[in-house]
Structure 1
Amino acid sequence: MKKFIVLLLIVAALFNFAACQKSDNPNTDTTVTTVETTVSEPTPSTEPQTTLPPAGEDLDLFAIIDQIYEVEPIDFEVIDTEVDLSDNDNVKYFTGLDNADKIKGAVASEGAIMPSAYSLVLVQVKSAADKAEVAEEMLEGIDPFKWICVGAEDLQIVAQGDLIMLFMTSSEASQTSDDFVAAFTEILGETDLELKK
């Protein structure tokens, strides 16, 4: 029985070595992509890249997050999630709000697998008149230590029109909340509300 197991292990090792050898077969499928890149200096613009639709119209929050990442690229994977407004626990986890009574929609972008805290949340309020109250509730209600073993010490909330952005990250992160507020401002124009914790 022992000889059989040893023989089986030797055969398995031989198959392993054979599978790992470099192939000299020229028919092996390999794709090489060449990308030509041109570099141009960005021209400073005082106008926002995006104009928000009139208050009350639905915003494409996923598209705005994509635009923020175009202006302020990140070097890790994120998962963008539409917040389920019918689930108060979900609303609380992502926004800090106890319920979704005053909001029209929300999208969260959080790190997929990473050792530090990171969260970018966009919330559209039903009425721009409520944004200061909603932003204040978000600031007081959000748990910057909602992740296991890590927390966000750098937290900022800004708003423009009926759109609120909550951003929080670890103080050790290379990108700060100020970087993302600058990206938000570049895309949508000057903020009309800013809160920090």
Structure 2
Amino acid sequence: MKKQTMITIIVIAIIAIIAIVGVVIVKNNNNTTIGGTSVKIESEKDMKSMLKSIYSKNKDVLPELETEEIDVSNSDLVTSYTGIQSTGNVESLVVLEPLMSSQAYSAVALKVKSNANIETVKEEILNNVDMRKWICVSAEKLYVTNYNNIIFFVMSDEDWATATYNSFKEYVGNEIGKELQKSGEEDIELPEERPAQ
């Protein structure tokens, strides 16, 4: 009798373990996971959390930064941060920028409406964002991409921009759209050289 009870308990324990493992596997297959956590970027809170995570990962190389939610009903403000002229497709906007405006750094998470043409908006950012918006400094590099309907871009010096951009790609498990980039020097017109006198 004791032997039969032991066998029954062992069989029940094995079935329970298999059921638990099965539930965990199914649950993990239904979520995109990065380092064991689900990637969900849908709200301003999610975007702010993502930018804070990227900053904390690169805190040792980046200047002191703060995240800020931007009022998307103010089209002038949206344009000043993104270069986008037609702001009607913008749902939410969160920026990560220096506390001191003399440091060229801006990381932006921009959620667009589901019917927006993401590639057109990304091109508009690439072509119109002001890479010289800071006092006495300009960004060397601009990277633009998207994760679903979240457009992410960063502009800064080469090292800061690359570190931030790579952290974003890692955060979303490299599930990104078309990548665009631009160097700040492409827009700078230098004066004619004059011979030394």
Structure 2-normalised TM-score? 0.67
Asked if 2 retains the 8 angstrom alpha-carbon contact of 1:96 and 1:138, the reply is yes
**Number of the residue aligned with 1:15:** none
**Number of the residue aligned with 2:19:** none
Asked if 2 retains the 8 angstrom alpha-carbon contact of 1:123 and 1:164, the reply is yes
**Number of the residue aligned with 1:110:** 97
Provide, for residues 90-109 of structure 1, a one-character-per-residue CA deviation record: whole Å limited to 9, x for no partner.
Answer: 01111111142112101111
SS in 1 for 2:179: strand
Where do residues 18-97 of structure 1 align in structure 2 (5 Å cutoff)?
48-49=34-35, 50-52=38-40, 57-58=42-43, 60-73=46-59, 74-97=61-84
Q: State the superposition RMSD in angstroms.
A: 2.2
**Number of the residue aligned with 2:177:** 192
Structure 1 residue 153 corresponds to structure 2 residue 140: yes
**Number of the residue aligned with 1:120:** 107
**Number of the residue aligned with 2:124:** 137
Provide, for residues 14-53 of structure 1, a one-character-per-residue CA deviation record: whole Å limited to 9, x for no partner.
Answer: xxxxxxxxxxxxxxxxxxxxxxxxxxxxxxxx95244236
Change (3 A) 1:72 1:194: same
Could you tell me which runs of 5 or more consecutive residues in structure 2 were left unpaired when the two chains were aligned.
1-31, 183-197
Asked if 2 retains the 8 angstrom alpha-carbon contact of 1:122 and 1:164, the reply is yes
Structure 1-normalised TM-score? 0.67
Amino acid paired to 2:48: F
**Number of the residue aligned with 2:21:** none
1:128: how far off?
Answer: 6.8
What is the aligned residue count?
A: 146
Amino acid paired to 1:66: K
1:161: how far off?
Answer: 0.9
SS in 2 for 1:176: helix
**Number of the residue aligned with 1:23:** none
SS in 1 for 2:122: helix
1:143: how far off?
Answer: 0.4
**Number of the residue aligned with 2:163:** 179
1:167: how far off?
Answer: 0.2
Cα distance in 1 for partners of 2:181, 2:103 equals 20
Cα distance in 2 for partners of 1:66, 1:97 equals 24
Cα distance in 1 for partners of 2:62, 2:143 equals 21
1:144: how far off?
Answer: 0.2
Which of the pair is proportionally richer in helix? Answer: 2
Asked if 1 retains the 8 angstrom alpha-carbon contact of 2:109 and 2:152, the reply is yes
Cα distance in 1 for partners of 2:112, 2:118 equals 6
SS in 2 for 1:147: coil
Asked if 1 retains the 8 angstrom alpha-carbon contact of 2:102 and 2:134, the reply is no
Amino acid paired to 1:185: K
> 4+ residue runs of structure 1 moved beyond 3 angstroms?
none
